[in-house]
Amino acid sequence: MQADHPDHDPSTVPDHDGGTPSPSTRPTSNVRLHGAVIRFAGDSGDGMQLTGGRFTSESAVVGNDLSTLPDFPAEIRAPAGTLAGVSSFQVHFSDQDIHTPGDEPDVLVAMNPAALAKHLGAVASGGTLIINADAFTRRNLGKAGYDTNPLEDDSLHDFRVHEVPITDLTLRALADDVSEGLLNKKEAERAKNMFALGLVSWMFSRPIEPTVEWLETKFANAPAIANANVRVLHAGHAYGETTEAFVYTYEVPAAPLRAGRYRQITGNQALAYGLVAASVQSGLDIFYGSYPITPASDILHELSRLKHFGVRTFQAEDEIAAIGSALGASFGGHLAVTGTSGPGVALKGEALGLALATELPLVLINVQRGGPSTGLPTKTEQSDLLQAMFGRNGEAPLPVLAAQSPSDAFYAAFEAARIALVHRTPVILLSDGFLATSSEPWLLPDPSTLPDIDVAFTTEPNTPEGFVPLLRDPETLARPWALPGTPGLAHRIGGLEKDARTGNISYDADNHQAMTELRHDKVKAVAASLPPLEVDDPDATDDGPGADLLVIGWGSTYGPIRGGVDQARERGHRVARVHLRHLNPFPRDLGEILHRYDHVLLPENNTGQLRMLLRAEYLVDVVGHNRVTGQPLRAAEVAGAIDDLLGPRDPVADQRTDPQEVPA
Amino acid sequence: MSADAAPTELPQHPETFSKKDFTSDQEVRWCPGCGDYAILATLQKLLADLGRNPSETVFVSGIGCSSRFPYYMDTYGIHSIHGRAPAIATGLASARPDLDVWVITGDGDALSIGGNHLIHALRRNVDITILLFNNEIYGLTKGQYSPTSPMGSIHKSTPMGSIDRPLSPVSLALGAEATFVARTVDTDRKHLTEVLTAAHAHRGASLVEIYQNCVVFNDDFYHEIMDRDTKVINQIPLVIGEPITFGPDGEKAVVADDDGSLRIVPTAEAGDRIVVHDPSRTEPTTAFALSRLSHNPTGPTPLGIFRQVERPVYDDLINAQVEEAVASRGRGSLEELLSAGSTWDVA
């Protein structure tokens, strides 16, 4: 938690400058904070994702900037009470512009011993633990690997511990419902997540009315359940207000976000909306062929509800049919998209090769997860970059780009569709498990400001002798796109090598050389349509760079890198930052930018894949910071990597702090 | 393509096209004597005779000798990758129900590497016509046994004989509840034309198994049903509405057994038990039993239409949902989509 006066420990200083009187029935001190990180953790069946999601929505209403990190097991219901079954949801909310879900939770809500055991190590020293004491039975302690009860053995002395009999209080709140037969005991107990939500909402001065409305809508057909949940939510809130245990409540004021209308959005949602935007701006209906796979399936779910945009979703028999059907639809003139994760991309490789050999527009979305093989289905990783670049037989280059934040996925999807349609090529768009389920506030764009995507179908023969399917645009090297049904333009395409001029099958030696080079040149030609990179180097002048070190990144490390760079700058380091949307081709100014700096640091959620590409392409000694734990990088480790490269900084010699940024 | 722009009925054109209009300028490169030539010529003529428009016709193929077919048709075409033609055709037909979409495949392409896509295209009842050229051999890779080769077949990869039990494409298609399933032979132009005409007219997925001769690697594998002196013994013609009899003077008949299977008996002993051919039966059970009378064309083999039933067509269904959504919700507005649900304003 970042208090206005970081020196003040709210636990020892009861009176705070800037505090506002609490509306509670007793004199609880209200502490004004810049932000806080809360992690809700419990069993898979405890409803932690829902609890976290609701808390996030309440924080959005208050106007905070937000970032969330859901983390759940691959098993739908792992054995109850075990470490494997723990599900968690972390939310970082702030009165300032933030970029990550937070490195360390300030508050951990642990609904059972396994949740405590799994997550305690992440909590900042002195952090607050809210523990469902009722769940700390001998049996549950055993399942979590505890020999002794941590609530009794003093092992939590570094933390502020609130033992709350959440299960018991929930059942008591619903005793009448159970005795009247409106609910059974199991149903009543299931409402305990609302108790936790009510309590934490009170603690952080969040309004619970939006959740009440939400419950009443969600359970409109089951009023008994709705009533029970609402009652327990209020009970949790009242518990905070009336018990003496909680001395402080906290308030995080609205963040100074840019004016406009906001909503919360996850990466998967944003991808779906970005595709729809590209559909509207190109005038082509979407055909989305997909096979269910974690963590990409939500894109299929989202698009299947948008049929009134002309979206056709096709749940295929396998990954190959998913891309195959999309390719067929592309031939027919639709905006063709297939979404999957790494294992699915492995299966789609041959069809991707066909897409680029036939030069048909196609967007492949890879929501990356931990690999290899089935790997870590619900955990994040950036380890499919080289697969995207090279995971096909033959020399098979295609454009590759990446989304950097949940809301950015909207623009990334739009851009992927633009490149595919205008340049007549399959495009791989990389997202990942973190972006897929993480959410943040999104300043809604004005749809009228989105550019049109001009697909320019060919409708007339392009030579006096007739239609030549490979007569290219001199700028983009794109081939004409003539749809079946167009009179007089019948032509055949396929995976065999084609004569560069006529498009007929050709096994000619020089022709293959020319076509191979052309396929590379065609991808390189995309770079001409890319804007210059934006380098964040506050000390740069017309004479040159201001920083000693450039931190470069791609994809979802955007947030941790921004946070880490901000921390390093506060320590006095002169650090520049640039983040890549386009990974193939690289932007034209990238080489010059890399050569501008003495040091280049590249944090990645893999063992150095982009680093390998940059070193090969530009002969720059890029240094990596690499971690693959299935979790996003932390801002602090990025700052640590900067320290390692530049050495500890004398803060007096170069005092530059950036008040805009709260260290994340 | 917006949903409302795509007509579900094929448009009729005043202009007519000849066989030549369906013939591309590419040199045909199948082996001399290959059965594919006869099928190509038949189809080029048939499409012209049916008044089809080459610009509204698409041939999609996979990999194999037969899959070169699209290059020789002056229509739209995709020569795709091994086994995947039904999947690609499914996407194309779903996106563009106005097109006449054909799939050309072989026994290896459709039944080995592409078996999954075949059964799913059939059970979905996508409006495509699948021609499965069955020569019981891998020709393009020079002579390995295929999933339809009989057990014991001696080929390049089976010097001691194949130990794989062969698949019957007709049985497989019926098991997937295909709505149109037929079998014909490359060199019987009249029968081929009749069956292809019916397959093309069928709304939904049609599967036509065409016994096709590979002169180089499996020559005359079907001689029992095609040689002048044996064909009368071994061809079981399936004639709609007629009792199923065959052989000289109709001396053999197909009757139902107590266990639901069919069996061949002398007509004289059949009495009133002879099965009357009716491909429109709702359940594929009898058609399946019929398909079990032969595994390979080495004995009595039914030829003709096994099954022909009406069922909702996938292309119609997928587009109807789009039309229904547009009708009930109005064409989607991006602004409404983005600001749906809870939003908040920052001043």
CATH 3.40.50.720 given to domain A263-449 = no
pLDDT over 70 (residue A658): no
The answer to whether residue A392 neighbours chain B at the CB level (below 8 Å) is no
Assess A212–B contact: CB distance below 8 Å, yes or no: no
A310 burial level (CB within 10 Å; 0-12, 13-18, 19+)? buried
Q: Look at B90 and A314 and tell me if their CB atoms are within 8 Å.
A: yes
Out of B81, B94, B324, closest to residue A312 by CB: B94
Q: Are A551 and A564 in contact (CB under 8 A)?
A: yes
CB contact under 8 A, B90 and A325: yes
**Closest partner residue to A325 among B2, B88, B344, by Cβ?**
B88
Among A295, A302, A215, A296, residue whose Cα is nearest residue A265: A302
Q: Cα(A299)–Cα(A138) distance, rounded to whole angstroms?
A: 42
Contacts of B318 in chain A (CB under 8 A): 312, 314
> Among candidates A606, A18, A578, which has minimal Cα distance to A369?
A606
A263-449 and A549-646 share one CATH topology? yes
Tens of pLDDT, residues A409-424: 999 999 999 999 999 9
Query: Which DSSP letter does residue A370 get?
Result: B
Chain B CB contacts of A312 under 8 Å are 94-95, 318-319, 322
Neighbours of A55 (CB within 10 A): 26
- Asked whether A221 and A156 are in contact (CB, 8 A), the reply is no
Query: Is A210 at the interface with chain B, CB within 8 A?
Result: yes
For residue A372, give Cα distances in angstroms to A12, A606, A628.
49, 12, 12
Is residue B1 predicted with pLDDT exceeding 50? no
Lowest mean pLDDT among A95-104, A292-301, A370-379, A644-653: A644-653
Does residue A157 contact residue A130 with C-beta atoms inside 8 Å? no
- Residue of A84, A88, A44, A50 whose CA lies nearest to A69: A88
Query: Taking CB atoms and an 8 Å cutoff, what residues of chain A touch B97?
Result: none
Q: Which stretch of A50-64, A351-365, A649-663 has the lowest confidence by average pLDDT? A: A649-663
pLDDT value of position A73:
87
Residue numbers of A between 557 and 586 with CB closer than 8 Å to B: none
User: For residue range A532-543, what is the model confidence (pLDDT) as tens digits?
Assistant: 999 999 999 998
Q: Identify from B65, B75, B82, B92 which residue to disrupt to test chain A contact, counting A C-beta atoms within 10 A and taking the largest count.
A: B92
* d(C-alpha A404, C-alpha A406), whole Å: 7
- Kindly list the residues from chain B whose CB atom is less than 8 angstroms away from the CB atom of residue A353: 81
Q: In angstroms, what CA-CA distances link B130 with A169, A490, B106, B232? A: 65, 20, 10, 28
Per-residue pLDDT reduced to its tens digit, A154-197: 899 999 999 999 999 999 999 999 999 999 999 999 999 999 99
Q: What is the CA radius of gyration of chain A?
A: 27
**pLDDT given for residue A27 in this prediction:** 54
Place A3 in a pLDDT band, splitting at 50, 70 and 90: low
Residues within 8 A of B (CB atoms), A 330-369 only: 330-334, 336, 350-351, 353-354, 358
Give the distance from residue A89's alpha carbon to the nearest chain B alpha carbon, in angstroms.
Answer: 20
Closest alpha carbon within chain B to A334: B1
Closest by Cβ to A494, choosing from B79, B96, B341: B79
Q: Is the pLDDT of residue A655 over 60?
A: no
Provide the shortest C-alpha distance from residue A254 to chain B (in Å). Answer: 9
Structure token pair of residue B310? 């009406």
Question: Phi and psi for A632 in degrees, rounded to 5?
Answer: -60, 155
Q: How far is B7 from chain A (nearest CA, A)?
A: 12
Does residue A328 belong to the interface with chain B, where contact is any CB pair within 8 Å? yes
Q: Nearest CB to B99: which of A307, A334, A485? A: A485
Look at residue B292 and tell me if it is in a domain: no
The residue-averaged pLDDT of A384-399 equals 98
Measured between its terminal Cα atoms, the distance across chain B in Å is 40
Backbone angles phi and psi of B57, in degrees to 5: -115, 135
> Average pLDDT, stretch A606-626?
98
Is B290 inside any structural domain?
no
Task: Residue B105: give the domain boundaries.
Answer: 3-238+299-334
Nearest residue in chain A measured CA to CA from B85: A324
For the cut 60, the answer to whether the pLDDT of residue B9 exceeds it is no
Contact with chain B for residue A314, Cβ under 8 A: yes
Class of domain A549-646 (CATH, top level): alpha beta
Please give the Cα distance from A486 to A469 (Å, whole number).
13
> Could you tell me if B62 lies within 8 Å of chain A, comparing CB atoms?
no
Q: What are phi and psi of A324, to 5 degrees?
A: -60, -45
Contacts of B325 in chain A (CB under 8 A): 307-308
Min Cα distance B216 → chain A (Å) is 23
Q: How many CA atoms lie within 13 A of A375 on its CB side?
A: 26
B338–A447 CB contact, under 8 Å = yes
| Per-residue pLDDT band at A257 (split at 50, 70, 90) | confident
Per the prediction, chain B carries an average pLDDT of: 95
Please report, for the domain that includes residue B329, its CATH number. Answer: 3.40.50.970
Q: Are B148 and B294 in contact (CB under 8 A)?
A: no
CB contact under 8 A, B339 and A61: no
- Residue A562 CA to its chain's centroid (Å): 15
B110 pLDDT band, cuts 50/70/90, is very high
Q: Which amino acid is at B318?
A: I
The distance in angstroms from the start CA to the end CA of chain A is 10
Q: What is the mean pLDDT of residues B59-71?
A: 97
| Cβ-defined contact of B343 to A354 (cutoff 8 Å) | no
Q: Does A318 touch chain B (CB under 8 A)?
A: yes
Q: Which of A349, A343, A285, A346 is nearest to A312 (CA)?
A: A285
Average pLDDT of every residue of chain A: 92
Beta-carbon separation of B3 and A285 below 8 A? yes
Q: What pLDDT, on a 0 to 100 scale, did the predictor assign at position B342?
A: 83
Q: How many CA atoms lie within 13 A of A350 on its CB side?
A: 14
Count how many domains chain B has: 1
> Distance between CA A457 and CA B213 in Å, rounded?
41
State the average pLDDT over residues A571-595.
97
Contact at CB, A490 and B343, closer than 8 angstroms: no
Q: Which residues pair with A130 in a beta bridge?
A: A109, A162
Q: Which residues contact A625 (CB under 8 A, 6 or more apart)?
A: A601, A602, A603, A604, A633, A637, A638, A641
Percent of chain A residues past pLDDT 90, beyond the cut: 87
A61 reaches B (C-beta below 8 A):
yes
A445 in contact with B, Cβ within 8 Å:
yes
List the strands of the sheet with A260-266, edge to edge.
A439-443, A260-266, B343-346
**For residues A428 and A388, is the Cβ–Cβ distance under 8 A?**
yes
Residue A12 has pLDDT above 50, yes or no: no
Mutate one of A287, A309, A449 to test the B interface: name it (highest B CB count within 10 A).
Answer: A309
Shortest Cα distance, chain A CAs vs residue B20, angstroms? 14
Sheet architecture: strand order including A599-604: A575-580, A549-554, A599-604, A622-626
- For A434, residues 6+ apart whose C-beta sits below 8 A from its C-beta are A69, A267, A380, A556, A632
Residue B103 lies in a domain: yes
A258 in contact with chain B, both atoms CB, cutoff 8 A: yes
Domain ranges of chain A: 31-251, 263-449, 456-528, 549-646
Mean pLDDT to the nearest integer, B241-268: 96
Q: Quick one: pLDDT band at residue A396, thresholds 50, 70, 90?
A: very high
Q: Which residues of A touch B345 (CB under 8 A)?
A: 260-262
Residue B105 in contact with residue B61, Cβ under 8 Å? yes
A495 in reach of chain B (CB within 8 A)? yes
Q: B42 φ, ψ to 5°?
A: -60, -45
Query: ipTM of this model?
Result: 0.95
Architecture of the A31-251 domain: 3-Layer(aba) Sandwich (3.40)
The pLDDT, as a whole number, for residue A16 is 34
